[in-house]
Amino acid sequence: MNINQLIGRDEGKTLEFKRDLSSPRNILKTLTAFANTAGGVLLIGIENITKNVLGLENPPDEEERLCSLIADSIEPRLAPNVELIAWQDKTLLAVEVYPTGSRPHWLKSEGPMQGVYVRLGSTNRQADVDLIQELRRGALGAAFDEQSLPEMEIDDLDFQGAVACFSRHRKLLKKDLETLRLVIKHQGRLVPSVGGVLLFGKQRAAVFPDAWIQCGRFIGKSKSRIFDHAEIYDHLPVAVERGIDFLKKHAMRGADLSQLHRRDVWSIPLSILREAVVNAVVHADYSQKGAPIRISFFDDRIEIENPGILLPGLTFDDIRQGVSKLRNRVIARVFR
């Protein structure tokens, strides 16, 4: 642990500074959020705004108190690396937390439904029921889209629609549905998987009402004035193409509608846009409710967003280095 490097960084998803132990609940929330998200380091004895190194007045006592707080206040039990570190003429208390297979962790005083926290940027946020379930699936190595839907039948999938989507690549047979895990066995019979319904469900909107794509072309650089919009409810592979068609249509119109200036040069390669839209569809957290996938076209940029936070254990630094984790294995397999 390089203290000089850590002090030189800003607080973020995996780093936080605390002046002292005067607010133990906030410290416990941070440690719980680190354990539930991507791990992290908490340095105590540093002013979090100015990053002025203050040190601790009674380092051994503070260390013992913190270890007792962690042992008594967090479930399932958390065992971070806690150590006293000398820095110049001062002593700091460092707590390094690793993502665990026991997620989700929670504060005992708040319970397993209210006391679960995750890390979003440099803040700790209370997890809702859907996110708690996502943490549990992640700890078990299970994917949401591989779960069965026993109340549904194979005929609830649009097999001919799936055949059409695969037609340019291969001939899709009924037996392939199980190989692709669009259907899975449940109590001796084949039923659709979550991924199967998300991809090719005949009544997908009834089961997953937020699994659609919202497109908007805005005038200017904000969402205050909209020029055109589209709501796309097709099967997900078809929805991607329709989303790309929406972008292509407005690229040809010109990128600066506010000044009615026609620009024929499309500055973002179509292959990059397609990859971004596909990634948004493949990696969306469809267990989350209340937000579709959104494609927003502005005069100066295109924004593509999907519901869900980064998978536990994944950071932006990991992504920059090419690390990838699949949230939806069935959907990813079909798109591949």
In angstroms, the CA 181 to CA 292 distance is 24
Do 180 and 156 fall within a single domain?
A: yes
pLDDT of residue 253: 59
Which pTM was predicted? 0.76
Identity of the residue numbered 162: A
Do 62 and 110 fall within a single domain?
A: yes
| Regions in the chain scoring below 50 on pLDDT | 255-265
In angstroms, the CA 70 to CA 27 distance is 9
Q: For the chain, how many residues are written?
A: 336
pLDDT of residue 32: 97
Do 40 and 127 fall within a single domain?
A: yes
Q: Report the domain count for the chain.
A: 2
pLDDT of residue 161: 95
In angstroms, the CA 190 to CA 311 distance is 29
Do 19 and 118 fall within a single domain?
A: yes
In angstroms, the CA 135 to CA 142 distance is 10
Show which of 156, 173, 204 is a domain's final residue. Answer: 204
**Exposed/middle/buried for 335, CB within 10 Å: 0-12, 13-18, 19+?**
middle
Residue with tokens 């079909």: 334
Q: Is residue 72 part of a domain?
A: yes
pLDDT of residue 269: 83
